[in-house]
Amino acid sequence: MAGRPSGRQETLVLAAALLVNIIFPPQIAAASLAVMLTADAAAALIGRKFGRHKAPNGKSWEGVAAFILVGYGALAAVLLFLFLHDVRSTFIVMISMPISVVVTFAAMAWL
């Protein structure tokens, strides 16, 4: 695998995107593809840059963690947007929630 990529992953992503678009309604398809594509890109970038510990499937645990965290973040953003129907409100909530969690845990650690 040190040489040129085989293109298998790209084919699988394209096939999954086509299936999702055929099977599901447009809103669900867009949400699932947004989560998959952002999380997969984050996993690839973080796994290549910071991947030190290998998982049994050959991927890095750091990439797996990045996929989970970014996937949950993207899913939360999509769901918030679907409920709020406003980009500005979604952005405000997506910024304020992590800040409040970090401040809360920092205060708990300080006490």
Residues 55-111 pLDDT 10s: 888 889 999 999 999 999 999 999 899 899 999 999 999 999 989 999 999 999 998
Contact 2, 26 (CB under 8 A): no
Q: Is 51 helix (H, G, I), strand (E, B) or coil?
A: coil
Helices assigned H by DSSP within 1-111: 8-23, 26-50, 61-84, 87-110
> How crowded is residue 37: how many other Cβ atoms within 10 Å of its Cβ?
13
Q: Is the dihedral of CA 80, 81, 86, 90 positive or negative?
A: positive
Can you give the pTM of this predicted structure?
0.74
